[in-house]
Structure 1
Amino acid sequence: MIGQPESAGASDGCGGAAALGVADWLSLAAAPTFAIMALLTLLGGAPDMMCSAAQDASPLNGMVPMYLLMTAFHSAPWLKLVFSRQRGAR
């Protein structure tokens, strides 16, 4: 395909499978990373200088709610992993 390296093709045998495995594991890293960033920002973060002008504009202002929303939006790979293991255990 145009724009993809040759090793990304499915017909490459274990090269394509290895790339897919790395991508799967990398997708699992997003949600915990954002959750840790939310926790660190909550515990020791400085006040948001850019968001201080519109303090009461929305309950979702600030970095902590943003990181928590990003955690929720990136939790799909974790949900797929949990539900696939539950189906396999039955």
Structure 2
Amino acid sequence: MTGIETREAWLRARFGGRGHVMARLLSLAAAPTFAVMTLVAAMAPADMICGAMQGPFSLQGMVPMYALMSAFHLAPWLRLFR
């Protein structure tokens, strides 16, 4: 029976030593993806996405949610520039 592995050991076994690189690239992909989704949701006709949408800049709907998710996932990008 194996014990509980550390995150680093799991990544090393799973990706052959490239786990940290894969995790880093995946973390960098989140913010731009949510930013693009924000733009798509803001530009799309309201009836195409959700019939109950109040408008692209209301506090309800997908646009503010995607914008917040993009903002919360900016940390890996900010670490690149410090």
* Superposition TM-score, scaled by structure 1 size: 0.64
Check whether the contact 2:11–2:19 (CA below 8 A) recurs between aligned residues: no
In structure 1, the partner of 2:42 is 42
In structure 2, the partner of 1:71 is 70
CA–CA distance in 1 between the matches of 2:7 and 2:81? 31
Q: Percent identity?
A: 48
Check whether the contact 1:37–1:67 (CA below 8 A) recurs between aligned residues: yes
Check whether the contact 1:48–1:63 (CA below 8 A) recurs between aligned residues: no
Q: Which secondary structure state, in structure 1, belongs to the residue aligned with residue 81 of structure 2?
A: helix
CA–CA distance in 2 between the matches of 1:63 and 1:76? 22
- In the TM superposition, residue 9 of structure 1 has moved relative to its aligned partner by 6.0
Q: Structure 2: which 5+ residue stretches go unaligned?
A: none
Q: Following TM superposition, where does structure 1 have runs of at least 4 consecutive aligned residues deviating by more than 4 angstroms?
A: 3-7
- What is the CA deviation profile of residues 28-75 of structure 1, one whole-angstrom value per residue up to 9, with x for unaligned ones? 0000000000101111153534xx39x5xxx52110000000000000
In structure 2, the partner of 1:8 is 10
Aligned residues: 74
Amino acid paired to 1:30: A
Amino acid paired to 1:78: W
1:27 partnered with 2:27: yes
RMSD: 3.1
* Superposition TM-score, scaled by structure 2 size: 0.69
CA–CA distance in 1 between the matches of 2:8 and 2:75? 28
**Comparing both structures, which one devotes a greater share of its residues to helix?**
1
